[in-house]
Amino acid sequence: MTTISIDRVSRWFGNVVAVNDVSMTIAPGVTGLLGPNGAGKSTLIHMMSGFLPPSSGTVTIDGVQVWKNQQAYRQIGLVPEREAMYDFLTGHEFVLANAELHGLPDPGAAAQRALATVEMEYAQDRKVTTYSKGMKQRVKMASALVHDPAVLLLDEPFNGMDPRQRMHLMELLRRFGADGRTVLFSSHILEEVEQLARHIEVVVAGRHAASGDFRKIRRLMTDRPHRYLVRSSDDRALAAALIADPSTAGIELDWTEKALRIQAIDFYRFTELVPRVAKEAGIRLLTVSPADESLESVFSYLVTSA
């Protein structure tokens, strides 16, 4: 059970502040680091992997500093974003070399296991230059897994993967998270993060914008009305009854969906209101679903308000 602690970390390059007073804790399980391009995700991952010292603050893994600490790499597996690898090696040789560099007792077996995990055995004897982008990504993953690390850091790992490879990689990461490893991956593609990570850390323009389960984050955003999609046996009557209550900010009749779109400013009051009103008016409720609890709406809210 390894935890990464980022404590009041800032990093600046001359006049440009890339990371601004960020504090976060990455616990075991899968965490998604989310943010637009240029938000500082790569900078944070480089600091967590010991390749960039923070200008202020500390980055520690289980209390031990990562910067200039070679032994820490026993527990860290890093999948960098840049594509460059030792091109003249075959996939198998590359993973094997990584296994040997870790000082593993049986590098051949470890390499074989790692390649099997990422399903790259069929191409392992071809040179890396002949690989497609997704294949290179998988070999990088294998090299990061070969020493069975407790922490896995992935910088934009789904770049260039086709849907099948992406699904496979997600399954892999899910399994690792369930095993108790600490997996952190960065992305700016919301669907990936939504499907994979329960816990997200949102970084916008170098600042830590939000942390936690994205649905719970949504609840915390009180100054934005919640939107609901409701279908019932009599939409108009229901609409009329709901608008009478102050917790409803606005109602739209959506012809295409044949439903009501309701904006509610008070979440708890509204959840109690709808069934009561429907029962009193004798209206049957067919569908009640939140229309904006997607990560996308959370994210766009965070990005625009930051």
* Interface ranges with another protein (CB under 8 A): 13, 18, 38, 40, 42-43, 46, 49-53, 68, 70-74, 76, 78, 80-82, 84-86, 88-89, 97-98, 100-103, 143, 235-236, 239, 243, 251-256, 258, 261
Residue 177 φ/ψ, nearest 5 degrees: -60, -40
**How deeply is 229 buried, as exposed, middle or buried, from its count of CB atoms within 10 A (0-12, 13-18, 19+)?**
middle
For another protein, the closer of residues 163 and 255 by Cβ is 255
Could you tell me the strand order of the sheet in which 76-79 lies?
A: 76-79, 151-154, 182-187, 29-34, 199-204, 207-213
Alpha carbon 157 to chain centroid, angstroms: 11
**Structure-block tokens of residue 118:** 């990422």
For another protein, the closer of residues 18 and 114 by Cβ is 18
For another protein, the closer of residues 209 and 259 by Cβ is 259
For another protein, the closer of residues 67 and 267 by Cβ is 67
Residue 296: CB minimum distance to another protein, A = 21
Residue 216: CB minimum distance to another protein, A = 30
Residue 13: CB minimum distance to another protein, A = 7
For another protein, the closer of residues 71 and 304 by Cβ is 71
CB atoms inside a 10 Å sphere around CB 254: 12
Residue 46: CB minimum distance to another protein, A = 5
Residue 24: CB minimum distance to another protein, A = 18
What is the C-alpha separation between 95 and 112, in angstroms, rounded?
8
For another protein, the closer of residues 171 and 254 by Cβ is 254
For another protein, the closer of residues 8 and 74 by Cβ is 74
In the chain, DSSP assigns E strands to 4-13, 16-26, 29-34, 56-61, 64-65, 76-79, 151-154, 182-187, 199-204, 207-213, 226-232, 248-254, 259-264, 285-290
Residue 167: CB minimum distance to another protein, A = 27
Q: Are 9 and 58 in contact (CB under 8 A)?
A: yes
